[in-house]
Chains A and B, each alone.
Chain A
Amino acid sequence: MNKGVKTCLWAAWIVLAAVAAYGLGERAVAGKELANYGSYVPWGLWVSTYIYFIGLSAGAFLLSSMVYVFGVKSLARVGRLALFTAAVTLGMALFSIWMDLGHMWRAYEVLTRPNFHSMMAWMVWLYTGYFLLILAELWFELRCDLATRAAAGGALAPLYRLLSLGWTCPTDAAELQACHQQSLRVLRRLGALGIPLAIAFHGGVGALFATLSARPYWHSGLFPILFLTGALVSGGALLLCLVSLLGAGGSEREQKELRVFLARLVLVLLVFDVILEWAEVSIPLWYGVGSEVGLWKEILFGHYGYVFWVFHLGLGVVVPLALLLKGQASRFATGLAGLLVATTFLAVRLNIVIPPQTEPHLRGLAEAYSDARLRFEYVPSLFEWAVVAAVVAAGMAVFWLGLRLLPLLNGEGPEEDAAQTVSSEPVAVAASSESAGDAAEREGSAEPSDPDAPPAIQASPA
């Protein structure tokens, strides 16, 4: 990673952490008194960030499935990174929604006394299964590396022993190959199981809104599909950004191929998402009559129209489309496009969650009883943004730790990997014993002048 970028990221993290301290402190002491949502707009920024992060997670996971289930070679190098990203963003989503609960310490009740008529209960159960599945996939993907690092000793050996759950890597070449084959089989099955799970839970997040007949804007059969597409776009864009920023191992040519593949994928998904969105916008607005016309006009031309036009359409669609069409070869262009799509997708989520709640179900209700919590208006407070900063800072910290401690960036395609590992086993052991951070550093900064990837990359087990 470029040193300037690294400094910027550290500076951003320190600022976020400082703001986060304020947000979490207020949340602990004063509860939600400083939050701007209320009883008529009961869901605010935190619900929006929840569906935003959960979308990133589902998208990243579905892309990882392309590696493990469908064997898409072009994406082979990002399998581990995609899985880990899915896990971290899932954690961020759950952290975000946990902050939103009126009784945070009762969250476990969804597991102990679920009501399976509720889409929300389904979500929690599916997330639990999904999280366990990601952990299992990551373990099978990394177990050989972890065991090798544990065996190599050093200060972090106990940690690796713990993470590898005491599993030891066979030393015999034939056994090692059999072990890798087993990993591949398990990963393929887990990935296959994960696809319907990810579709169910993220389509389910859409259904969580869509099943509410009280809100015509949400009550649309297209919503679950829109959520899935959104997940793939935003998750794919995040991976594109990460791959452009960190590299993903391999030669510069291979990295470029990976970036171009991801860039094209994001481009296609983004176009498809825009088509779906066009359907969502144009149908209720076409004749200018109907219950949703006013709401859409408010979204497009109201006080907060800039959220749609500037953040979503401008920075989230037009600029990235231009970058992806013209600059697929450029690491900067793909990174920026990925960053823009991934971050500005929050605008899409905000426009899904907030506007429908600002319309009273009964005309005159807004004036019937005066109270700050009984308004059909909402703008997130600084406190709410500070809590989101805490979520982002925590996510960045975990991600950084993962990059430092786990061999996330030297993943190879599962198929070629199994064959190569056996022949280059000694190198793998040697390479694995070095600091993962160093390895990540080196891979990330692979330059064209360094045509051969580091041995660890070639030798790492799947």
Chain B
Amino acid sequence: MEQAGASLGKPRDTKGGRATRRELFARALAAAGGLSALALTREGLAKEPAILDRPDDWAPGNALERMRRDLERALAKPMEKRKWVMVIDLEKCIGCKACTVSCVAENNLPPGVVYRPVVEEERGEFPHVRKRFIPRPCMHCDNPPCTPVCPVGATWKRPDGIVAVDYDACIGCRYCLSACPYNARTADFGEFYTEGLAEGSEAFAGPRASGYETRPSFEYGKEWRRTPGSHASPMGNARKCQFCLHRIENHLLPACVTTCLGGATYFGDFNDPESLVHELVGSSRMMRLKEELGTEPSVFYLA
């Protein structure tokens, strides 16, 4: 997905000079492979011209490429100097749920555990009805209500802004689940999608799927293996989105960012004024969920 995304709207021939906005637009349209790409580029031009106008060495129009470079710059800094944030453009989200699925695949999430559902909101009355899609990852609040409640300090706010969970310490009391005002934490009840199915009884959910389920995940940079009959972590734990910390530390953007068909999800270091997310957070369309609670989420929405 990253490669596909990287080709969207990228000018192939700049001939050493700066392309005009009109040329860029035409090239972007020509290079667009589908409606999602069209949406990304058009929105980029119409709403966030700054993204495309930058004359720097990054490829104009390519938000993913820019975010990758932002990521590299951020990783070159000490952890406490970074502040990871996510920006989600609701005008661009097409509700495909690719982010939800890629997150499940990336983290090998079992039944009942979801890090990034997409909430659908319907407004208006017929014939003036409009749908809006609101992806809801963990908000990684600057003032998280979920961390101080943990009786054993198994969840905390890292210096880089990510709210992490120590799976080896979590006792599974689910107090943090109750404390989160976004329902962003889920509990791993030790279940398997293929549980109870006879070996090979289903072509698509037999041993192959079972193998998928027991494949390790690499959350927080460790190898976590879920095996039926075992109660080992992360089974029994509270689980949540960690901005794909294991990917970030390996110089990769979070799975939901790279797989977003509409190019609606942005990620980067808010402490870097040159970063794309820093620019987007300054938008007049910026809002955060339940701002009134004072949780100071690190996930921003462009409404």
Contacts and interface: CB of A to CB of B under 8 A. Distances in A.
Contact of A374 (B114, B120, B170): B114
Contacts of B111: 371-373
Contacts of B206: none
Contacts of A109: 152, 169, 171
Contacts of A110: 151-152, 171
Nearest to A376: B183
Interface string B204-248: 000000000000000000000000000101011110000000000
A172 interface: no
Interface residues of A, number: 46
A118 B117 contact: no
A365 B177 CA distance: 15
Interface stretch (B74-82, B186-194, B275-283): B186-194
Contacts of B189: 31-33, 35, 38, 373
Contacts of B134: 362, 364
B90 interface: no
Given A103-B231, A120-B173, A360-B183, A39 B112 contact: yes
A368 interface: yes
Contacts of B169: 106, 109, 113
Interface in A359-383: 360-365, 367-369, 371-374
B50 interface: no
B175 A120 contact: yes
B293 interface: yes
A120 B170 CA distance: 13
A117 B238 CA distance: 19
- The residue among B111, B173, B190, B237 with the most chain A CB atoms within 10 A of its own CB is B173
B150 A118 contact: yes
B9 interface: no
Give the interface SS of chain A, mostly helix, strand, loop or mixed.
Answer: loop
B178 A39 contact: no
A43 B178 contact: yes
B172 interface: yes
A133 B186 CA distance: 37
Given A113-B169, A115-B150, A362-B136, A42 B178 contact: yes
A215 B175 CA distance: 12
B291 interface: no
B13 to A, nearest CB: 43
Interface string A384-404: 000000000000000000000
Contacts of B187: 38-39, 42, 102, 373
B151 A361 contact: no
A148 to B, nearest CB: 43
Interface in A108-149: 109-110, 113-115, 117-121, 124
A208 B179 CA distance: 10
Task: Determine which residue in B175, B188, B293 has the highest number of CB atoms from chain A within 10 A of its CB, and name it.
Answer: B175
B40 to A, nearest CB: 23
Interface residues of B, number: 49
A119 B149 CA distance: 7
A30 to B, nearest CB: 8
A387 B114 CA distance: 28
A118 B231 contact: no
A214 interface: yes
B56 interface: no
Contacts, number: 154
A279 interface: no
B151 A102 contact: no
A177 interface: no
A211 B145 CA distance: 10
A367 B293 contact: no
Given A39-B187, A365-B136, A101 B173 contact: yes
Contacts of B117: 365, 368-369, 374
Contacts of B118: 368
Residue among A33, A39, A101, A117 with max Cβ neighbours from chain B (10 Å): A39
Contacts of A100: 173
A373 B177 CA distance: 13
Given A101-B173, A102-B171, A212 B151 contact: no
Contacts of B179: 212, 214
14 contacts: A42-B177, A102-B236, A103-B231, A103-B236, A113-B152, A115-B153, A118-B150, A120-B151, A213-B145, A214-B293, A363-B119, A365-B117, A368-B118, A369-B117
Q: Which are the 9 A-B pairs with shortest beta-carbon distances?
A: A102-B172, A373-B112, A102-B236, A214-B181, A368-B117, A39-B186, A115-B153, A120-B151, A42-B174
Given A43-B178, A114-B153, A367-B120, 18 more contacts: A38-B187, A42-B187, A100-B173, A101-B171, A102-B171, A102-B188, A102-B236, A103-B237, A118-B149, A213-B181, A214-B145, A214-B293, A361-B181, A365-B136, A368-B117, A373-B111, A374-B114, A374-B117
